[in-house]
Structure 1
Amino acid sequence: MKLERLIAMIYKLLNHEVLSAAVLADEYGVSQRTIYRDIDVLCAAGFPVVSVLGQHGGYGIMDGYKMDKALLGSYDVETLLTVLRSLSSVFEDERAQGTIERLQTISANSDGAAGLAVSLETRRVDPEALPKLRTGISERRAVRFDYVRADNERTARTLEPLRLHYKHSNWYVYGFCRTRRDYREFRLSRMLDVRLTEDRFAAHDEGLTDRPPAVYEEDEQTCDVVFRIYPEALSGALDQFPQADKNFHSDGSLTMRLRIHKPLEARWLWSILLGFGPGAEVLQPTELRFILRDHLQKALLLYDGKKD
């Protein structure tokens, strides 16, 4: 414990001009007398710790003292700092903050500015869910929650969480679902009332956590969906369907062709297309046109006050 504190104190001093003994004692939960002894140990070990007198005095590292940068290049350091800062802001992770301080000592940018920024937005997620899930992963504790499936059915689940993902602008958790007795991935925005339990679980085979996603065979379950996008919905469609085949027209509209698994059951696709309003029109398959038309008619009944 003392060794860890001494190492942490070195990096802390490297990243601050002067820190008082009271601040350091509060940071590491020890007495000021212990800090004085730690400073003596660091000086004896050859670290150039200097004492600054006065009202705002304390301890610091001699000007010009730098750590060896041979281990990591400046690009590596700045990239790691960017990612760690984003993770630290999401999880309020003290360990990540400690790593940031250590990396800053070998960063080429003294002001912390970098040409890269990462935002792991959490506005779609219960702010308490991510820390609970991460604790469940690190401490191997099961979590319980209600989950709203794609078909809108709400089910109670118990999960042994193994890994968090951030992809397609959404957070997901992967683990062993005790309810279904199989490995599952859950979208956090659909998880309700996440509760961390005291029920511990054993370590899982690492190979299971790296299983590739299901690959759908090219059969009757997949088909091309073709839709026309009009100018008022152009930017939104490009954001939502970047991998679609695109054919631009002279009037500013765009035809998109996308291979979709079970498009007549893909509610996520319906909601996106309907969200474009008059800016999108499905051309193929015809059955999907009928589905979207029925949804629009039901919505009109709600606003016309004619629904029973």
Structure 2
Amino acid sequence: MQINRLFQIVYILLHKKTITAKELAERFEVSVRTIYRDIDTLSSAGIPIYASQGKGGGISLLDDYVLDKSVLSEREQNEILYALQGLSITQAPETDKVLAKLNSLFNKNRTNWIEVDFSPWGSDEKRASQFTIIKDAILSRRILEFNYYSSSGEKSFRIVEPVKLVFKVNAWYLQGFCLTKNTDRFFKITRMSDVVMTEELFSEKSLKESSDNNQIEKTQSWIEVRLKISAQGAYRVYDEFDENDIIKNKDDSFTITTSLPDNRWLIQYILSFGADIEVLAPQNIRDILRKELELIIRKY
């Protein structure tokens, strides 16, 4: 937030000769003392900004100062704009204003190059806003409280110091320190409900990270499977599997050799293909599927 404010202060001063600290404080909804700290920061960064006292005084830039955009290459300018455009999907404060000003400074037209919806299809507005609550708690270092459902459906109440959001294994996770369990944990966002950001602050601490930077993979067991998917199921093949794991057969079917999570999810995932899939190996997965199908048949 401070970086955005610093940029906007410089932008304002480039277009307005002088402005008082009080006016800036009211504009950004911060204290006058905070504005003066920002002025010191800008001055330390080499920007010729100064404050004058008395009638008609205020904060100004030297008359001949020009914000030098030439220090950034065309590619760097685009990377900054694209990064901010990506950040705007999380509804970060002031992002749209900063984007507009940077586009003006770089003489570029804004391009809506990315759109992300963090909620499942058909979910309500309350569910969709959950990601924003988590993001705000991380940025403001406030403790989160929520109900969490395990993979087996067990519900538990959690109190967590949120640290960062992680996208891994086709899903979003919250990484944080669970005060309820007194340990570092990953929480799958879709399993969190009734998320509340409390007023209680916490101090930032470093989390223990494995060598592969992911506790999710460390605690997840995997199994190599060989699948055959018919031509009718082709629409899912390249969406859900790495091209290096896929062999296209002469009859337009596909043989896929890959590693998948060895848990209940795997059975449900395979069944989601219906008759378009056959598990070639391992045999124990074939046996589990046969029993599952027998149970399904009994119900119908």
TM-score by length of 1: 0.69
Supply the distance in 1 between the matched residues of 2:26 and 2:141 (Cα, whole angstroms).
31
Q: Shift of residue 207 of structure 1?
A: 5.9
Supply the distance in 2 between the matched residues of 1:139 and 1:229 (Cα, whole angstroms).
47
SS in 1 for 2:82: helix
Within a 5 Å distance, the mapping from 1:124-135 to structure 2 comes to 124=120, 126-135=127-136
| Range 99-108 or range 268-277, more displaced | 99-108
Amino acid at match of 1:144: E
Q: Is this contact kept in 2: 1:129–1:194, CA < 8 A?
A: yes
Match of residue 233 from structure 2: 233
Q: Shift of residue 29 of structure 1?
A: 6.9
SS in 2 for 1:94: coil
Identical pairs, percent: 25
User: What's the CA shift string for 1:171-211, capped at 9, x where partnerless?
Assistant: 22100112222111111111111111223322212665997
TM-score by length of 2: 0.71
Distance 1:194 1:299, change over 3 A: farther
Amino acid at match of 2:177: F
Q: Is this contact kept in 2: 1:244–1:258, CA < 8 A?
A: no
User: What's the CA shift string for 1:205-226, capped at 9, x where partnerless?
Assistant: 2665997224669xxx654211
Unaligned segments of structure 1, at least 5 residues: 16-23, 31-38, 49-65
| Range 223-232 or range 267-276, more displaced | 267-276
Distance 1:148 1:6, change over 3 A: closer
Supply the distance in 2 between the matched residues of 1:228 and 1:173 (Cα, whole angstroms).
35
SS in 2 for 1:70: helix
Supply the distance in 2 between the matched residues of 1:186 and 1:194 (Cα, whole angstroms).
12
User: What's the CA shift string for 1:129-172, capped at 9, x where partnerless?
Assistant: 22221222222221111112222222222111000123455322
Q: Shift of residue 113 of structure 1?
A: 3.3
| Range 148-157 or range 182-191, more displaced | 148-157
CA-based RMSD of the aligned residues comes to 3.7
Q: Give the structure with the larger helix fraction.
A: 2
Q: Is this contact kept in 2: 1:176–1:184, CA < 8 A?
A: yes
Distance 1:297 1:77, change over 3 A: farther
Distance 1:98 1:249, change over 3 A: same
Q: Is this contact kept in 2: 1:163–1:209, CA < 8 A?
A: no
Unaligned segments of structure 2, at least 5 residues: 16-23, 31-55
Supply the distance in 1 between the matched residues of 2:14 and 2:180 (Cα, whole angstroms).
50
Match of residue 113 from structure 1: 111
Q: Is this contact kept in 2: 1:136–1:196, CA < 8 A?
A: yes
